[in-house]
Amino acid sequence: MEPASERTVPRGLGLWAGALFLALALGVAAAATIIELPSPAVVVTGIGVSWILLGVTTVGRVDTQIKAGIQHHASGDIAVFTLGLDQERVILEPGKTWSQLDHFKWVMRGLIEEPQMLHVFPDGSVEINSEKISITDHAAAEKLEHQITKRHTPTGGHKTPEGPTSKIGGGAAAPGTSDSRRLRVKLDHFGHVVIERGHGAEREETGLRGISTLIANGLIRKPDQYRVDPMQRSIEIDGVKFECNEAGVKQLEEALNGRYAPRVQAQTAMAIEIKENLAASAGFDIHFQTAHAGVVREIKGHLSQELLDLLQDPQKCDLLRPGIHLLLSPPYLLIRRRQPDLREEKIPELPDLNVLRSSAAQLQAVFNHPLVSRNAGAAATPALQAATDRAAEIVGIRLARNPQDKVLLWLECITTGGAALPAKAFTHHNVAELQQSGIFHPHLDVHLSLDHRRLTIQNRETREEEILTLDTQSPHEDLCNASRRLTNALKPRRPGVGNEPVAPLVLPAGDPPASVEKKPAARQPAAAPPRTATATGRAIVGVSAAPTGAQPGLDPAITELFRETDAVRINLGVFRRLGPWLGITPQDVRLSLPFVFENRRFEVLSFEHQEIADLSQLRSVEFYGFYLSHVSEKRILLIYACNGMHIEWGPEKCVLQATAQSEPKEYRGSVLLGLAQNNQNEFVFVVPPEFKQWIAPRETPFTEENLQFLTVADMAAAPGDFKFIWPERPAAPR
């Protein structure tokens, strides 16, 4: 390596200068002796001058300023930045962090502050404090020197304890130079609006379609209404239109950081921050700070049990209350309180949380709840309350028949005042979601079998269990009895929440229906409420007329085909049938994604017979076909891809991405029921009615790619218009 081209004066230069002046002084003294000067003052003067000059050179080299330079390799094609302080020299080697490079403890000695972010690239360039400095820049050394020596204002929720280390650096730190705007809006080189947040490695960017993600993460307050132009030429928020031009992005930035900025007190109360991250196994990242031995550390990473253990360790972190135990048991986050006898008990106000069905704001509210966090303020309670009020206000549950759906029953949750939440299908997943939301008594387990037929209500205290067998052909009295038992299982109404009485959902006096298994005998039902007809025509137990007959025009043989509800079996059945149907042999490959998964099994049906050897091929715009991703034995995803469009069908959710550049949309739950083709050979995904309603305003990009989303009723109304891939339609008898 050649010597560094630093601007510092070599240390030896001062010593040589001092020696030179000393020799001159001694020469003057000797000359004075030879020529017999009248006084030795000249000698003294010469020595004094030499020592003064020597002192000047010595003081000049004691410099506490870090100097930056560039060191070139002998070949000249490789260069690295260097930092120098007196005889201490640091080489910024690629791939190393500042803690690995700070051999001389400049931060601990108070000479500089630790860079907020440092990344050294293979070509020697660096990104420090969100500024990228190219090593080929003519002013690169000056820029690096400025960034390494500047001071930052603290942004964490903890105060760094004052001590000798904090006073070594001298006076007060200079004001921070970071941008005070929480969100920055700009135009990219395509003329599209980009919303940016954070700095350096923490920088995140999204387009106009990412507004919904910003709202879900609590970064902006939800407006009353907003609409994004399909071509992303503008966005309209609460009646104000922002165009995609320089003036428009400036106005949008002011609006997002002004009118729609989250309340300050809600942000300052959150000592533990949760953000969504699709690359994380749990789907979220966690961010908090610890203080140990007077040193503050910033912890960032995927939401995992390892970080939860660090968070609840009182020797390393003081954010949680004593005795709080956090356990990540996928897909749930369990929150327990330890007792002196080492037992653990549930916290009634904090039910187990389904992480896969929760937002970042809900998880953040739980971690910062006053019963969990030491530093939680009053702002944390409303955030959690807003997430759970919807479930806490439910005072009645009614089972229903929907004339549009002959396969499943439906349930409606009645709130205080007699209002009803949007109806949901009476399925295993929806009942489990109600159980996990905490609306039932804590000692009761309410469960629906995977075939959506057997409803079980178990009392863990008395070990009593009731099993009710239900389907769309069950007598009206059976549905009334199930509605009454579900309502009786609800928690009592909270004091002060609604004063309107809700009619009890009960049955006429008499013996329970024969379809109810009693373990032991159940209570005798009371009198039934009057029945009235609804405007929608839906037969709702307790308030509707007698069940209606079969909907005319629907082929019952078709509705009977779509009985399977297990997402894994459906995905496997569809994929296994597609190969023979299309005459394509599937490829069975093992692919990896660095730092995410290794050797995961993929089964691929490429319509263009493309050999798959890398995961990037499946995500490219060139891939056209279906493939299975074997995440685990109980989680097998079916993905359809065409021209950059991807549709992922999974057990927990459906993810739709219209184009390679668009933001993905998620629908919670298992919704794929089957696959078919119409007479134009377009693929038809068979889905439940609630998914059909959700996808209706979003399906244009998919229909343009020759796809359709239809319900079982749509298929049964005109079965001759479709070719059933899976489930297979039995051959008509001759």
Beta bridge partners of 639: 627, 648
Q: 565 with 451, same domain? A: no
H or E element in which residue 476 lies: helix 476-488
447 part of a folded domain: yes
In this prediction, residue 396 carries a pLDDT of: 83
DSSP string covering 486-542, please? Answer: HHHTBPPPPTTS-----------SSPPPTTEEEESPPPPP-PPPP----TT--EETT
Which domain range does residue 378 map to? 267-390
In this prediction, residue 226 carries a pLDDT of: 85
What is the C-alpha to C-alpha distance for residues 386 and 393, in angstroms, rounded to an integer?
11
473 part of a folded domain: yes
- Phi then psi for residue 442, to 5 deg, are -65, -20
Q: What is the DSSP letter of 142?
A: H
Q: What is the DSSP letter of 642?
A: E
Q: 399 with 371, same domain? A: no
In this prediction, residue 572 carries a pLDDT of: 94
Cα dihedral 427, 429, 430, 435 in deg (nearest 10): 120
In this prediction, residue 416 carries a pLDDT of: 62
Q: 384 with 533, same domain? A: no
Q: What is the DSSP letter of 722?
A: E
CA neighbor of 643 nearest in space, from 666, 619, 667: 619
Q: 347 with 429, same domain? A: no
Cα dihedral 447, 450, 454, 459 in deg (nearest 10): -20
Q: 516 with 480, same domain? A: yes
**First-to-final CA distance of the chain:** 89
What is the C-alpha to C-alpha distance for residues 656 and 650, in angstroms, rounded to an integer?
11
560 part of a folded domain: yes
613 part of a folded domain: yes
* Sheet containing 193-197, strands listed edge to edge, beginning at the edge strand earlier in sequence: 184-187, 193-197, 204-206
Q: How many CB atoms lie within 10 A of CB 100?
A: 9
Omega prior to 504 cis, within 30 of 0: no
157 part of a folded domain: no
Q: Last residue of a domain, which of 390, 416, 433? A: 390
In this prediction, residue 31 carries a pLDDT of: 47
Q: How far is CA 636 from the centre of its chain?
A: 21
Q: How many CB atoms lie within 10 A of CB 557?
A: 12
In this prediction, residue 371 carries a pLDDT of: 86
Q: 277 with 379, same domain? A: yes
Contacts for 238-245: CB closer than 8 Å, 24+ residues apart: 244/187, 244/191, 244/192, 244/193, 245/187
User: Do 275 and 284 meet the contact criterion of CB atoms below 8 Å apart?
Assistant: yes
In this prediction, residue 673 carries a pLDDT of: 94
User: Do 589 and 604 meet the contact criterion of CB atoms below 8 Å apart?
Assistant: yes
Q: 527 with 632, same domain? A: no
H-type alpha helices, 150-263: 164-167, 211-216, 246-258
What is the C-alpha to C-alpha distance for residues 211 and 17, in angstroms, rounded to an integer?
66
732 part of a folded domain: no
* Residue pointed to by tokens 């995410």: 596
Q: 564 with 698, same domain? A: yes
Q: How many CB atoms lie within 10 A of CB 548?
A: 13
Residues of the chain with pLDDT under 50: 1-13, 28-47, 49-62, 153-180, 264-269, 377-392, 496-550
Q: 250 with 294, same domain? A: no
715 part of a folded domain: yes
User: Do 83 and 140 meet the contact criterion of CB atoms below 8 Å apart?
Assistant: no
Q: Is 207 exposed, middle or buried (0-12, 13-18, 19+ CB in 10 A)?
A: middle
In this prediction, residue 672 carries a pLDDT of: 95
For strands 465-469 and 405-415, give the pairing: unpaired
Q: 299 with 241, same domain? A: no
**What confidence tens digit (pLDDT) does each residue in 386-433 have?**
444 444 467 788 888 887 777 888 888 877 655 567 777 888 878 887
What is the C-alpha to C-alpha distance for residues 136 and 119, in angstroms, rounded to an integer?
17
**What confidence tens digit (pLDDT) does each residue in 513-544 have?**
333 444 443 333 333 333 333 333 333 333 33
Q: Last residue of a domain, which of 351, 375, 390? A: 390
pTM of structure: 0.32
User: Do 411 and 428 meet the contact criterion of CB atoms below 8 Å apart?
Assistant: no
Q: Last residue of a domain, which of 356, 390, 424? A: 390
Q: What is the DSSP letter of 576?
A: H
Share of the chain above pLDDT 70, in %: 71
Q: 359 with 282, same domain? A: yes
* Token representation of residue 19: 């020696």
548 part of a folded domain: no
* Residue pointed to by tokens 């510092």: 8
- Tell me how many domains the chain contains: 6
Q: b vs e for 452-488, b when ≥16 Cβ sit within 10 Å of the residue's Cβ?
A: bebbbbbeeeeeeebbbbbebebebbbbbbbbbbbbb
Q: 578 with 706, same domain? A: yes
